[in-house]
Amino acid sequence: MLRNTVQNICQHCGTLVESETPADQLHQGPEWERFEGTPAPLGVSWLNTEQAYNFAIDAVNASRVTLLLFREQELETPACCLELDPLKNKSGSVWHCRVPLTEADGAVYYAYKIDGPAEHATGNWHVYDPAKILVDPYARSIFFPTIIPDRDHSEIPHPPLGRLDICRCPFDWKDELRVCHGTDLIIYEMHVRGFTQHPSSGIDDDKRGTFAGVVEKIPYLKELGVTAVELMPVFQFDPFDENYWGYMPLNFFAPHNQYSTNQSSCEQHSQFREMVRELHRAGIEVILDVVYNHTGEGDHRGPTYCYRGIDNATYYVASGNPSAPYANFSGTGNTLNTSAPTVRRLILDSLRYWAKEMHVDGFRFDLASVFSRGGDGAVNLNQPPLFDQIAADPDLAHVRLIAEPWDASGLYQLGKSFPGRTWMQWNGQFRDTLQQFVRGDRGLISQLMTRLYGSNDLFPDDTYHAFRPFQSVNFIASHDGFTMYDLTAYNRKHNTANGLDNLDGPDDFCWNCGWEGNDQLPQEVAALRKRQVKNFCCLLMLSNGSPMFRMGDEFMQTQGGNNNPFNQDNETSWLDWDRLTQHEEVFRFFKKMIAFRKSHGMLGSSTFWREKIQWYGAEQPEVDLSADSQYLAYHLHDPSPETRDLYVMINGSTSPVQFSIHAQADKTWKRVVDTSLPSPMDLLVPDIQIPLTHNHYRVNQRSIVVLAQSRGDT
C-alpha cells in the first residue's frame, strides 16, 4: 500500500502535524497537472506531496479568469496576479491552476477577477465586470476587512476574500457517536448567536453568541429533554448587512465567522466541530437550517460578492423584466437556478461537506419548493433533478432531510404534493389549526382531530403514497412569526423597528388574552397566558408526528410583539435567561411534558394510530363536529403490556365542561395533566398522580386534562 507521510505546520495554530497524504492526492496524474492544476476538487485544496495549492472555479461562460493572492495587512494591492490561460488552465467549464507555497509569496487570502462572456457562451444575461474582486463560492472560510464598507449596495470598496489558512490539523472526534432519534425526537429551533448573547446567559463575554456558548448550555438542553437542535443559518453571511437571522448567505461552505471566538479558518471549523461533537456526546442531533434557494447578492441593486460576477446567467433565474431582471421566488431579491448542473453540484458538494466533514445529522431546507422551479421559473411537476440527485447520493442516505414546503411566491407543496417523498416537512397547517383553536376559534374539531392524528390528509399512508406520521414536523411557533408567548400577548404585530412600516411579518392567529402587551399586566391575564402556553405545549407533545418548538418558548420568551425581527441583533431577539427564573413553572411543565411524551412511545409512533385511537365528545360519546364545537376527547390504547392507555380531554371554550370518561379501562385512571391548575399540580409525576373515583371530570375553561391508566407506571 502506497503511503506518504508529510510533516506540516498548521499555518494558523502552529501545530506540527505528521500526517499521511490522502489516497486521492497520491494519484500519479499526468506531469502537466503539477503546473496547470486540476479541475477537481472545486475551490482551493492543499497538496501535501507538492506543498502547493490547487485552485479550481467553475465559470463556463467566462473569457478571462485572474487569480489574486493577498498578504495580511496588504489588501489594496495583490501580492500575486495569475491570469489563467484557457488553453492550459481550463477543462470544460472549470478554470484551474497550481501554485506552490514558495510562489504564493506569503499570501493568506485569495480571490478572482473574471471577465466575459466568452465566444459561444450560453445565455445572454451576463453582467461581467473585470474590475470586481470576487470570492470563491467554494471557499471554506471568508475574511472580511475590518473597515466597514459603504453599504449603498452598489460598490464594495473592501470586498470579502477567501482564506488560504486551511487547517491541516486532524480533528479529534474522540468517542463521538452519531445518533438518529425516532419516537423520542424533540426538535429545538435555535439561533446560535441569540441563544447565549444576552448578558443573562451566564456565559463568559468571549463565548457569548458563539458555537462555544452553545457547548456551555448543553446541560440545560439535556435537562429540558430536547434530542435535536435545528440551528438557524450558520453559513457565512455579510456581517455588515443588518442580517441577524442569516438567511442571506454569501457562501455555502464557510461557517459564519462571528460564531467563533477566533476569526481564523482553523478555529472557525474546530469550534463548530467541537459543538457538534459535544452535542452528539449528549445524545443530541445537529440539524442545519440551510438556504440554497437564493444568495445575499439580492437583486440588480445588490452587491456583487461572487455568483453574479462569476456567471450570472448560470446561477440565477431571470424574470424577463428589464427593470427587475431577477426572478424573486424567495422574497429576498433573487432565486438560484437549481435546474442548472453547476448550481446543483454546488448544493450537493455543500451538503456532503457538512455531513461528512462537519458531522451534521440533517438539514432543514428554507423555501424548498423553489427546487421545483426550472430555469424559466416555471414549476416542474415531474421529479425535479435536484431531489433525484440528493436521493441517489450515498453520502446523504442517512441524513435527515426536512423541507419548508413552500416558496415566497405562492407555491405551496405541503404533504403529498412535495417532490421529496421521504422528506420530513414543516407542517404549516398544524401550526395554523393549533393557533386558531387555542385562541378560541370555533368549528375546528375535525381539523384538530386530523392534526393530532398526524395529518394523514396531507401524509396519506395508502399503499401508493406510504407516508409516515413522523414526516410531519409539528410546530406552533418558529423564528418566522410570534413566539409562543407572544401569540398570547398581542393582537397585532409590533414590527416598526424593522424599518418596513410594520407591513412585514406573517399574520399569526394570535390573541392577547384581553390585554395588549406586558405593561401593567393584570394578574389574571398573566395567569391565563401561562395556561395558554401550557395548552400549546401539551397539544404539541400529544400529537403524532415530530414536535418542534423554538428556543425560549419553554420559559415564555417575548420579542415585544415583533414577529419578524430578521434584522434585530439586540435584546429583541436574544434569549433573555432571566425569564427562566421568572417562569420556572412553565419551564417545568415543558420539561415534564417532554419526558411524558418520551415515556409513551405511541405518541410518536412510526405509523398512524388507526385502531389504537377512539374519539369521543364531552358528555356524549359522539364527537361534536358542529360549527360551534370546542370540545374533544380521545382514548389511546396500545396492547403492549409496558404501555399505559391515555385519555385526553380538551376544552377550548370559555366555560368549564363536564366530561364523561367513555373508555372502558381495566385499571384505575389517574390524573397526569390539568393545565388549569398551578404548578406542580398541573403535571404530576407517577408517584403522586391522583386516582379518579368517578367516571367523569370537570375540565376548566381553556384547558387540557390527560389521564393515564395505573398499570406499568413510568
Active site residues: 366, 404
Residue 542: name the closest of 666, 631, 686, 434 by CA. 434
SS (H, E, C) 7-61: EEECCCCCCEEEEECCHHHCCCCCCCHHHHCCCCCCEEEEECCCCEEEEEEECCC
**Is residue 100 within 8 Å of 51, Cβ to Cβ?**
yes
Q: Which one, of 33, 115, 108, 103, lies nearest residue 66 by Cα?
A: 115
Strands of 613-616's sheet, edge to edge? 613-616, 631-636, 646-651, 703-709, 669-674, 690-691
CB 546 within 8 A of CB 598: no
How many CB atoms are located within 10 Å of the residue 83 CB?
11
The pairing of strands 631-636 and 669-674 is unpaired
H helices within 441-515, ranges in order? 445-453
- Using CB atoms within 10 A of its CB, is residue 188 exposed (0-12), middle (13-18) or buried (19+)? buried
Assigned C-alpha cell, 191: 439561533
Length of the chain: 714
| DSSP 3-state of 271 | helix
User: In 3D, which of 91, 119, 116 has the Cα closest to residue 312?
Assistant: 116
Q: How far apart are CA 711 and CA 386, in angstroms?
A: 50
Q: What is the DSSP string of 568-630?
A: --STTTS--THHHHHTHHHHHHHHHHHHHHHH-GGGG-SS--GGGEEEE-SSSSS---STT--
What is the spatial distance between Cα 312 and Cα 627, in angstroms, rounded to a whole number?
54
Cα(675)–Cα(433) distance, integer angstroms: 19
